[in-house]
Amino acid sequence: EIVLTQSPGTLSLSPGERATLSCRASQSVSSSYLAWYQQKPGQAPRLLIYGASSRATGIPDRFSGSGSGTDFTLTISRLEPEDFAVYYCQQYGSSPPKFTFGPGTKVDIK
Amino acid sequence: QITLKESGPTLVKPTQTLTLTCTFSGFSLSTSGVGVGWIRQPPGKALEWLALIYWDDDKRYSPSLKSRLTITKDTSKNQVVLTMTNMDPVDTATYYCAHSWERCSSTSCYYYGMDVWGQGTTVTVSS
């Protein structure tokens, strides 16, 4: 069973800075089934990235995803005030067939 | 425009069965590649995937909760229903449904993520 680990747990940055979030899988996962979500307090999650690197509809290009195998990264090139939130990675594995979310990385204002 | 909305009881007693309904619009659950999933989030904690049903009635469950979950769809009503038996206070959470879709060829599949979510419904388990 695949376990996702996200680091750091909390990232304290200032607006305008670059954020690099890591998602590591306990075994190799298909990039086709790796997604990233953003969640703000009191709101439902929002899809940012699918297929490890494709931006979802309406997502600004300051958000980018990369990686393969067991290591994936979400990068926010320049933090805007609205980007301070919790970010989750998600993967789908076939053995057993299930979706898994990581524990999340909180990006807060320094 | 795709929308989803969860409905169900806000309070259930321990050992009771929870029934949640996801009513959606803007897509058909008979379209190839489309699925509707359920995800929950206990207060202050991370997201936890529960179940997903596909357009062809294929169903996936969280292995840790599989014995307690049943997911069904009513395509004519545009609804997906999740039942969870033997509720416990640790099941207190916000429950979300979400639209997902994937595209498969003869050799591989590509997943486009859970791209639209409902607003969530809060369920408290308490006597």
Question: Which segment of A3-7, B88-92, B103-107 scores lowest on mean pLDDT?
Answer: B103-107
Chain B neighbors of A101, CB-CB under 8 A: 39, 46-49
Look up residue A33 and give its amino acid.
Y
- The answer to whether residues A102 and A90 touch, using CB atoms and an 8 Å cutoff, is yes
Confidence class for position B23, pLDDT limits 50, 70, 90:
very high
Torsion A60-A61-A63-A69 (CA) sign:
positive
User: Cβ separation of B46 and A45 shorter than 8 Å?
Assistant: no
Question: Which segment of B51-55, B104-108, B118-122 scores lowest on mean pLDDT?
Answer: B104-108
- The answer to whether residues B31 and B9 touch, using CB atoms and an 8 Å cutoff, is no
Q: What is the pLDDT of residues A77-96, one digit of tens each?
A: 999 999 999 999 999 887 77
Per-residue confidence (pLDDT) for residue A10, from 0 to 100: 97
User: Cβ separation of B47 and A100 shorter than 8 Å?
Assistant: no
Per-residue confidence (pLDDT) for residue A7, from 0 to 100: 97
Rounded to the nearest 10°, the torsion over CA B57, B122, B44, A73 is: 30
Per-residue confidence (pLDDT) for residue B109, from 0 to 100: 83
**For A33, which residue in chain B has the nearest alpha carbon?**
B111
Per-residue confidence (pLDDT) for residue B106, from 0 to 100: 84
Q: What is the pLDDT of residues A34-65, one digit of tens each?
A: 999 999 999 999 999 999 999 999 999 999 99
Q: Rounded to the nearest 5°, which phi and psi values hold at A83? A: -90, -5
CB < 8 Å from A in window 7-26 of B: none
Confidence class for position A3, pLDDT limits 50, 70, 90:
very high
